[in-house]
Amino acid sequence: MIPFSVLDLSLITRGASIADALRNTCDLARLADGLGFHRYWLAEHHAMPGIASAATAVLIGQVAAATRRIRVGAGGIMLPNHSPLVVAEQFGTLETLFPGRIDLGLGRAPGADQRTARALRRDPHAPDRFAEDVVELLHYFEPLAETETHHIRAIPGAGLRVPVWLLGSSLFSAVLAARLGLPYAFASHFAPAQMEDAITLYRARFEPSERCPEPHVMLSVNIIAADDAEEGRHLATSLQQYFIALRRGRPIAFPPPLEKGAAPWPVAEQAMLEQTLAFTFAGSTRTIAPRLKDFINRYRPDELLAAVPVYDHAQRRHALELTAELAALPDRGEGG
């Protein structure tokens, strides 16, 4: 079976605090570590009432300190919000503290609305320079001789082989990742429309590099597993409410599932959910397993990145345990 990893948005749930969300993230990471998941990634979002991972590098350090084996990284850092040098220094520091366990995924979107993006004090044209910024950042991780004093150096950072990924939800990053010879992760858990075209293009155009000699694709999906298929589908109504609020322009804290028997969504919003969340696998392990197998067989990812967006933390932990069963992960007995 291919490696399975975890994408955690550090959910701030309705009625709970940001501190609760951060504690839950560290707890879930320890569980993922013990269950044998390969990576644990956190994503940069800003001014979102349902997401606590805005200071992504800081939280990665906390998660890495709370775990023993699992790789920990960014899925991703939104590079237009940052100086490439600062990102290299931050992840150089993390790699120095936790050698061989840190990943750096890079995205081109701001991870915020336009007003918040301006408040981050980055040049509004920074996304247009994404390719140049990626190349600059990669350069900061290259070793430099002591005699090369005229170069800007990332300290920590220079000489460290931090794995750098490109993330995307369209064709742009697929082409760039192929040209630079970097591994590629597609955000199919919320933007599946161009997934197949993007990974086909990436594989066809891939240029081998020292960092990544062969094309490497990771696809993200939502897995909402429960002991009973109906219960899994019911838990998924939290994610559906969350996305409807986002599309209405009114983001919310992550809500509890709908009361059973609640009125269905309007037709237009139901159609949006079916498109946006097309790769959401909700149900029991028995009902999810064949669909997930079909997905893997059709798109041939090298890894799968599973988000587990469940409102109640105890149920989220159980959903992750069931996801490990779906992945047939080795139980390393090191946490949980």
Domain of residue 142 covers 4-327
What does each C-alpha distance from 130 to 98, 125, 172, 177, 246 come to in angstroms? Answer: 27, 9, 10, 12, 26
Inside any domain, residue 78: yes
**Each residue's pLDDT tens digit, 263-293:** 678 888 999 999 999 999 999 999 999 999 9
**Each residue's pLDDT tens digit, 124-138:** 777 789 999 999 999
Q: Which token pair is 82? A: 């940052």
Inside any domain, residue 334: no
Local confidence band at 335 (pLDDT 50, 70, 90 cut-offs): very low
Inside any domain, residue 336: no
Inside any domain, residue 335: no
* Domain count within the chain: 1
Mean pLDDT of the chain: 92
Inside any domain, residue 70: yes
Q: What is the CATH number of the domain that holds 189?
A: 3.20.20.30
Please indicate, yes or no, whether the overall pTM of this predicted structure exceeds 0.85.
Answer: yes
**Each residue's pLDDT tens digit, 161-206:** 899 999 999 999 999 999 999 999 999 999 999 999 999 999 999 9
